[in-house]
Structure 1
Amino acid sequence: MIPMKKMKNESGWAELGLNFSLARTTSSSAKAEKTVENKIETDDDNFELFDAKSRKTKDLSGILEACRPTKAAELSVSKQKQNEIVEWLTSEATTGRSRILLLSGTSGSGKTIALKVLAEEYDFNVIEWISPIDSAYSNDIKYLNQNDKFVEFLVRVTRYNSVFGRSRKRLLLVKDIPNIYFMDTNGFHEVLRQYMKLGRQPLVFVCADSESSRMMYSLFPPEIVEELEIDRINIPSTTPTAMKNMLKRISKILNAKFGDLIDVTQSVIDEVLSNSIGDVRSTILNTIFASLKVSNDGSKNDCGSREESLGLLHGIGRVINPKRIVDGNKWKFTHDPDDIAAYFRSQSRIFFQFSAGKLFEYNGED
């Protein structure tokens, strides 16, 4: 770590009031610091191709990971928007100074994965900011709030190279801006100004269109965008043609690697496409849900395998967003939870896994 005194002489980051010379005296704190450093050093692993055979269990995260595109030709983002991202990445290298990009677009349009894939092809190591959960440290260790942690992240990444990996260009990705900055926009703007002066890597903020108005007019007002020359690229919803090509690609992967759980047929693809609204992530999830094989436990069921697969989607909806009937001062669920549980008894494990995954998405995952 660079001592505080030296930072005051060499770096304007110290003006933000963050002391990076904290004494880590406890074993738990040292372990936490090592974990943070390892996270930064091993982000190259995010781009490794998922091998389903190496997993003992085939959970939802593994299935989704197998569907991730690994090259530009597999992206659902239009070629024009890919070229805009590539032009921004390459121009950053030629200008020799740090730049900031605001990458916006509809939820599930594939903007984040497009940035990661294209950055990898141009030899960038994408390092993503993950919002930590504030927790109490020991009394002899200074407590770092969200602002301090975010600034520390910027300093670590822009100043220190990994000693384990080969030297690569780095790109900072921020999808989850610390909530503290929505209450202290001036503090956020000062961090951006300091980064433009002292940062060495391109910095990308990703936001969905539903969040754009709040982010654009509070965190990125016109005067700040002009002052810092912040660039913006907007990714539109995926076109039906691109969505169809994407489903053809992932159907082969799902049938080949997860054939014991999933059977993606052309009829499933056609039905999912007919209900698609340009959201790639949602379309993939719907395809997986609709293609699940139903366990044959000998029990009688009024629905065939196709209808029961669609029933899984409906059941998840009734769990995440249940309807209620109000009767005076009382209320009850429209659909009895016991009936839902009984209907999916033969698929209880799958139903639980997908309900949990859908719940995280429902709560705002980008």
Structure 2
Amino acid sequence: MQRKGDGKPADLLEHFKPAQEADLAIHVKKIEEVKQWLTAAKKLHPATQILLVTGPSGSGKSVCLKTLAKALGYSIHEWTTPVDVDLYYDDKFDFDQDRVEKQGRRPQKALFDDFLYKTSRYCSLFASAAGESSKLLLVKDFPNSMLRSPEEFHDSLDRFRDSSTDPIVFIATDTASKSLDVAYNLFPPAVLESFQIHQIKFNAVSATLLKKAIKRIGSVMKADKGIAKQYQTVPSKQVEEDIIASSQGDLRNCCLNYLFTCMKSNGGPMPKRLRLDGSSVGGKSGKASKATTNRHKQPLGLNENLTIMHALGRIFHPKFVKQDGETRFVHSPESITECFLTQPTSIVSLLHSNYVTRCTDIQNVAAASDTLTVVDGIMNEFRSDQLAMYGLTIAVRSMMVNNEQTAHGFQPIRKKIKVQLHESTKSYSEELKKLGLIERPVPPRLLATEYKGYVSMIRKPVPNKP
């Protein structure tokens, strides 16, 4: 961790990082998924223990993994991409005489391969003293050369699988552009199946969990006198709500905005626009008008505070306004779409799961179904990054236009239907391994759809012919 010249940590969140599982402001199911994988990684074969964690920025992927791994006795070894530019201070490069010959740098792929091999093969002398029994490799800063040529990364992954003795975790952040999406470029479905990579998808943090994180930060400030000197009293509830609303589920953004709001000003009293109690500095605080007191404060941080639930409400129950003799939407489909450019597939999946119960006319259901079919075809085209945005825009607009008679009453939001394999699939795979019918691990989905059927046909006894 980088430090300032006065010895204080440069990372503001270093003082407030979670120390145990109960401190994590992440959904319980995601914590349980990561915990189960880390527990099983100590028992199963390490060649099949590869985990891919994806999710939006600030969803707590790294914090959750490091906290749980530390609690389970793992020693984390994280890969750091070396700097591409070397600095030479005493090589006399600008002079014609006494020029020192430079040796070429090793490629990033070679350094990455060395990290995977040496870290997983050689143990640390201090691991036993610290009480850490297992090692866990962590990669979230991918080498630049491998992002340009995914074949190099797949080759390194193949070598790691053949020679590894420890599990490895890859963390990738979701992006709006497919050309910059690490999970999309380096981990296509074929690679996930061939390397037996288990994927855990994190979602944006809910407002309830964001409140939990803010409350914990406030308690840490009160308990530590050294930290209390750097920050002032806890802000008002209105300011906290504005911070949570503006973060859009980004845990890191929420915590940093909260700390910036609590931070003391070294130059004297806080400016008027930053006062948390609503009073002005050197002004007429007692004569503040009632309208000014009740005025809604502008959110801090990000400008848009639209959540997924609010967006679905605006899509399935649109509001109209008459303007110049025409009926228009209060919230345009484009403004709703722009808030979710990083997760178009998730929004379309939610529309698929909920649009039928929101319509009262079968003609509206048929029109919406036809449009969603077209949207699925558009979003399956992977060669263009813009088509996903166009598909999301068409889906949102079609829902708002075609639903002429909206269903009233409470309707719960249904998640995307996920097909889960039967528990007998794993035991069936172990049985085939004992019989010698399969030698290498087979993906569970491939085993259930193809292998199981063919093997049952082979093992079926042939009737005796007369």
- TM-score (norm. length: structure 2): 0.51
SS of match in other structure, 2:228: coil
Mapped to 2, the partners of 1:197 and 1:142 lie a distance apart of: 29
**One of 224, 232, 240 as aligned partner of 2:199:** 232
Aligned counterpart, 2:231: 262
Please tell me the residue identity of whatever aligns with 1:190.
Answer: D
Aligned counterpart, 1:76: 25
**One of 141, 145, 158 as aligned partner of 2:120:** 158
Shift of 1:142: 5.9
SS of match in other structure, 1:69: coil
Shift of 1:144: 0.9
SS of match in other structure, 2:64: helix
Residues 186 and 64 (structure 1), Cα distance of their counterparts in 2 relative to 1, 3 Å cut: same
The answer on whether the counterparts of 1:255 and 1:262 sit within 8 Å (CA) in structure 2 is no
The answer on whether the counterparts of 2:54 and 2:173 sit within 8 Å (CA) in structure 1 is yes
The answer to whether residue 248 in structure 2 is matched with residue 283 in structure 1 is: no
Provide, for residues 181-219 of structure 1, a one-character-per-residue CA deviation record: whole Å limited to 9, x for no partner: 122221211111111111111111101111794323321
Provide, for residues 23-58 of structure 1, a one-character-per-residue CA deviation record: whole Å limited to 9, x for no partner: xxxxxxxxxxxxxxxxxxxxxxx9xxxxxxxx9655
Mapped to 1, the partners of 2:66 and 2:41 lie a distance apart of: 16
Shift of 1:97: 2.0
The answer to whether residue 193 in structure 2 is matched with residue 223 in structure 1 is: no
The answer on whether the counterparts of 1:108 and 1:282 sit within 8 Å (CA) in structure 2 is yes
The answer to whether residue 76 in structure 2 is matched with residue 133 in structure 1 is: no
Mapped to 1, the partners of 2:188 and 2:177 lie a distance apart of: 11
Pick the structure with greater CA Rg. 2
Aligned counterpart, 1:21: none
SS of match in other structure, 2:40: helix
Shift of 1:243: 1.0
Aligned counterpart, 1:358: none
The answer on whether the counterparts of 2:146 and 2:153 sit within 8 Å (CA) in structure 1 is yes
Residues 163 and 270 (structure 1), Cα distance of their counterparts in 2 relative to 1, 3 Å cut: same
Please tell me the residue identity of whatever aligns with 1:132.
Answer: P
Aligned counterpart, 1:88: 37
Provide, for residues 265-300 of structure 1, a one-character-per-residue CA deviation record: whole Å limited to 9, x for no partner: 3433233223231111000111011122234648x9
Aligned counterpart, 1:321: none
Mapped to 2, the partners of 1:212 and 1:105 lie a distance apart of: 14
Structure with higher RCO (Cα < 8 A, 6+ apart): 1
Residues 135 and 188 (structure 1), Cα distance of their counterparts in 2 relative to 1, 3 Å cut: same
Residues 197 and 139 (structure 1), Cα distance of their counterparts in 2 relative to 1, 3 Å cut: farther
Identity %: 30
Shift of 1:159: 1.2
SS of match in other structure, 2:42: helix
Q: Aligned pair count?
A: 260
Which of the two has greater helix per residue?
1
Q: Which runs of 5+ in 1 are unaligned?
A: 1-45, 47-54, 318-366
Residues 56 and 183 (structure 1), Cα distance of their counterparts in 2 relative to 1, 3 Å cut: closer
- CA-based RMSD of the aligned residues comes to 3.1
